[in-house]
Amino acid sequence: MNDNHGGTAVQECEPGELMRLVAESLTARGFEISGPEWEDSRRLTITNLQGTRCQLTVGDSGCMALEYWPHAVDYAGPANLTNLVMTVLDNPREDQVSETVTEPVSDALPGVPLKGVVGRALKAKGMDVRMIVYEDVEFYDVLAEIVVTNPDRLDRGEVRVGDDAAVLWECEYPAESDSATDQIVENIVDMFTRAVSAGREKVT
């Protein structure tokens, strides 16, 4: 069934088709893909990003989640994480010149956690930043992370960043009747590629 623009509507996809199309497009761009681990899963693992664990979940309805965890110190700094978050939440066009984010000197102080440096940098760029805390009542410990949204682009979803440099971006491309599958795939792959590039750019 075609939509009004000549594309196939997302809700007409076979189960797992959107994920498979994204995987094929990522492979064409040079990414090595593994998964999903079981038939009903929609999670793909990108295996050729050295120093980084990266997984992309693509739901049948157009919802997606990017889990990005850099282990290498070159990619786990606050400037890289800030660049990655701004890329997915602000989505600059290719013809726009983006200013490289560098760590503010005033924030680069002993005792300032990674999420604090990243959160302050994102707040200065107009993002909404809040913190959520999880309590471990068994071992009397707490875990905190920041949750970031763009007030001008709420359609970009939200990003969570922790002190371990783990980044989780969740977004949804609505499966409306005029949302063509090929356009959804292009959007997801394009944003994934931009995000990974921003997160791995050498910042001096």
Specify whether the CB–CB gap between 89 and 149 falls below 8 A. Answer: yes
**pLDDT < 50: residue spans in the chain:** 1-10, 93-98, 102-107, 175-178
What is the model's pLDDT at position 7?
40
Query: Which residue segment(s) compose the domain that 14 sits in?
Result: 10-199
Name all contacts of 73-76 with Cβ < 8 Å and 24+ positions apart. 74/202, 75/51, 75/199, 75/200, 76/165
Query: Residue 3 falls within a domain, yes or no?
Result: no
Specify whether the CB–CB gap between 185 and 17 falls below 8 A. Answer: no
Beta bridge partners of 55: 45, 67
What is the model's pLDDT at position 201?
86
Tokens of 174: 């609505």
DSSP E strands, the chain: 33-34, 43-46, 52-58, 63-70, 128-136, 141-149, 158-162, 167-172
Which residue from 65, 61, 103 is spatially nearest to 81, judged by alpha carbons?
103
What is the model's pLDDT at position 97?
40
| CB-based contacts of 12, cutoff 8 Å, min separation 6 | 1, 181
Query: Residue 2 falls within a domain, yes or no?
Result: no
What is the model's pLDDT at position 204?
57
What is the model's pLDDT at position 12?
60
pLDDT, tens digit, 9 for 90 and up, residues 73-119: 889 999 999 999 999 998 554 444 445 554 444 445 678 899 999 99
**Length, in residues, of the chain:** 204
Report the number of secondary-structure helices (H) and strands (E) in the chain: 4, 8
Query: Residue 185 falls within a domain, yes or no?
Result: yes
Scored b (16 or more CB within 10 A) or e, 14-29 reads: eebbbbbbbbebbeee
Query: Residue 81 falls within a domain, yes or no?
Result: yes
With tokens 């693509």, the residue in question is 58
Query: Residue 5 falls within a domain, yes or no?
Result: no
Q: What is the DSSP string of 5-42?
A: TSSBBGGGSPTTHHHHHHHHHHHHTT--EE--SSTT--
What is the model's pLDDT at position 179?
57
Query: Residue 18 falls within a domain, yes or no?
Result: yes
Query: Residue 141 falls within a domain, yes or no?
Result: yes
Query: Residue 1 falls within a domain, yes or no?
Result: no
Beta bridge partners of 69: 53
For the chain, the domain total comes to: 1
